[in-house]
């Protein structure tokens, strides 16, 4: 079937796929077996176990904080030993099913926590990934997966490049006070929308997702924002864009992150249904003369040739397109607009200046990253 959704390729490390991955969640009497815990540490285990407990670190004495910090490495070890932890499951209308899992890896300052939506038919592919906020002190309270919060300030490379594309090519601007409109096709876990909602601008979002259960998963497990600025449309993205084009609705930035979940697809992102001539023409219309279109491009095989083909096809409908490298494996993000000669080769200096402004406002490093990944011969 031709179901569209965000399907970012997430290759999990073999070291994380250990035999303990399917053991599920350990009950607290098993957790108490962690070596080296003092009697006081066990008291902390029992006291902090409740999923609903909220601990006020400011009220702790220096001695109590020191004891919790002494316990912390043991908890990190236990979390990584039993990772990943399944925390939810859902299926879409085509009976493709997904598992929400939480992974822990590393130790000390390098300890990280992440939440994924994984495709059950292809465990190496994920619908979304999000970093979790590391607490001041990791306690037994954090042995409960849902006691970890999503870090909305961090998105992964292709999400971030799609976000900054609108600013880089001046569809969006920090110098405007009036509302600016963003259209996202393909929700996934909603990482891009969640990040953009925190940008200190008057942004209005239309987010289109084909599958209602994906939207419910984004709200339940990924803290997708629910407010008057974010309008969610459960419908086919092709139909939404066609209607917008017919009604003359224009967006300042259009993020296409709708992909195939077929293990046999040669072009995973964007989904091939969005490569139809009439659909590309409609997307060009809805960004108008000043808006920006961006699309995640992922092809598991014959990547360079297929990227060139996708870029060529979109270039027939937009006046300027650039396929910027965003990963060492050659993955690229396609960025287009209807301004003449407004591509990376001709407008690089101004685009880098725009990226520097974005980095200053948001604490990112996109200018340096894209400049290094995409050198231009002088």
Q: Are strands 292-297 and 253-256 parallel, antiparallel or unpaired?
A: parallel
Q: How far is CA 92 from CA 41, 99, 223, 237, in A?
A: 44, 12, 20, 16
| Rg of the chain on CA atoms, in Å | 22
Mean pLDDT of 255-273: 91
- Cβ-Cβ contacts under 8 Å for 155 (sequence gap 6 or more): 163, 191, 192, 195
- Cβ-Cβ contacts under 8 Å for 23 (sequence gap 6 or more): 82
Q: Is the pTM of this model over 0.95?
A: no
pLDDT for the residue numbered 7: 38
Per-residue model confidence as pLDDT tens digits over 340-369: 999 999 999 999 999 999 999 999 999 999
Per-residue model confidence as pLDDT tens digits over 80-111: 999 999 999 999 998 989 999 999 999 999 99
- Give backbone dihedrals phi and psi of 180, rounded to 5 degrees, phi first: -120, 140
User: Which of 171, 227, 223, 235 has its CA nearest to residue 204?
Assistant: 227
Per-residue model confidence as pLDDT tens digits over 166-216: 999 999 999 999 999 999 999 999 999 999 999 999 999 999 999 999 999
- In SS3 terms, 8-61 reads as CCCCCCHHHCCHHHHCCCCCHHHHCCCCCCCHHHHHHHHHHCCCCCCCCHHHCC
Q: Alpha helix locations (H) across 223-343?
A: 237-247, 277-287, 303-315
Q: Are strands 230-234 and 180-185 parallel, antiparallel or unpaired?
A: unpaired
- In SS3 terms, 198-227 reads as CCCCCEEEEEEECCHHHHHHHHHHHCCCCC
Q: Are the C-beta atoms of residues 366 and 160 closer than 8 Å to each other?
A: yes
- Give backbone dihedrals phi and psi of 271, rounded to 5 degrees, phi first: -55, 140
User: Which of 337, 303, 310, 16 has its CA nearest to residue 169?
Assistant: 337
Residue with tokens 């919060």: 149
pLDDT for the residue numbered 100: 96
The full set of domain ranges for the chain reads 21-147, 157-373
- The whole-angstrom separation of Cα 284 and Cα 245 is 9
pLDDT at 26 over 80: no
Which pair of tokens denotes residue 84? 């990943």
- SS3 at position 300: coil
pLDDT at 279 over 80: yes
- The whole-angstrom separation of Cα 327 and Cα 333 is 10
- The whole-angstrom separation of Cα 343 and Cα 320 is 6
pLDDT at 12 over 60: no
Is 3.40.50.12280 the CATH number for 157-373? no
pLDDT for the residue numbered 130: 93
Residues paired with 98 in a beta bridge: 90, 119
Mean pLDDT of 311-333: 96
Q: Are the C-beta atoms of residues 161 and 366 closer than 8 Å to each other?
A: yes
pLDDT at 17 over 90: no
Question: Which burial class, exposed, middle or buried, applies to 303 when counting CB atoms under 10 A from its CB (0-12, 13-18, 19+)?
Answer: middle
pLDDT for the residue numbered 54: 52
Q: How many CB atoms lie within 10 A of CB 203?
A: 20
- Please give the span between the terminal C-alpha atoms of the chain, in angstroms, as a whole number: 46
What value, to the nearest 5°, has the Cα angle with vertex 355 and ends 330 and 274?
50
Mean pLDDT of 129-138: 92
pLDDT at 3 over 90: no
């Amino acid at each position: 079937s031709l179901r569209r959704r965000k399907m970012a390729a997430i290759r999990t490390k073999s070291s994380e796929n250990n035999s303990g991955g399917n053991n599920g969640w350990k009950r607290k009497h098993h957790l108490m077996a962690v070596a080296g815990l003092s009697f006081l540490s066990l008291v902390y285990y029992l006291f902090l176990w409740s999923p609903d407990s909220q601990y006020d670190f400011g009220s702790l004495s220096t001695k109590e904080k020191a004891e919790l910090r002494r316990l912390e490495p043991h908890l990190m070890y236990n979390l990584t030993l039993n990772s990943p932890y399944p925390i939810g499951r859902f299926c879409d209308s085509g009976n493709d099913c997904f598992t929400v899992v939480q992974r822990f890896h590393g130790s000390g300052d390098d300890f990280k926590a992440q939440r994924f939506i994984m495709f059950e038919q292809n465990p190496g592919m994920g619908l979304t990934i999000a970093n979790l906020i590391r607490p001041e002190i990791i306690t037994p309270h954090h042995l409960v997966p849902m006691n970890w919060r999503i870090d909305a300030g961090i998105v992964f490379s292709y999400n971030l490049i799609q976000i900054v594309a609108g600013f880089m090519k001046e569809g969006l601007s920090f110098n405007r006070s009036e509302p600016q409109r963003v259209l996202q096709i393909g929700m996934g876990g909603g990482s891009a929308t969640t990040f953009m909602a925190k940008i200190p601008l008057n942004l209005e979002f239309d987010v289109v997702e084909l599958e209602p259960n994906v939207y419910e998963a984004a709200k339940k497990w990924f803290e997708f924002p629910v407010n008057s600025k974010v309008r969610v449309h459960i419908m086919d993205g092709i139909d939404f864009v066609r209607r917008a084009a017919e009604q003359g609705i224009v967006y300042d930035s259009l993020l296409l992150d709708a992909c195939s979940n077929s293990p046999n697809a040669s072009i995973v992102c964007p989904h091939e249904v969005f490569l139809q001539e009439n659909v590309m023409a409609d997307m060009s219309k809805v960004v108008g003369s000043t808006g920006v279109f961006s699309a995640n491009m992922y092809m598991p095989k014959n990547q360079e040739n297929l990227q060139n083909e996708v870029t060529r096809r979109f270039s027939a409908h937009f006046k300027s397109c650039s396929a910027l490298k965003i990963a060492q494996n050659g993955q690229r993000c396609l960025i287009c607009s209807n301004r003449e000669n407004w591509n990376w080769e001709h407008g690089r200096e101004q685009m880098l200046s725009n990226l520097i402004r974005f980095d200053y406002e948001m604490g990112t490093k996109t200018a340096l990253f894209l400049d290094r990944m995409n050198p231009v011969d002088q």
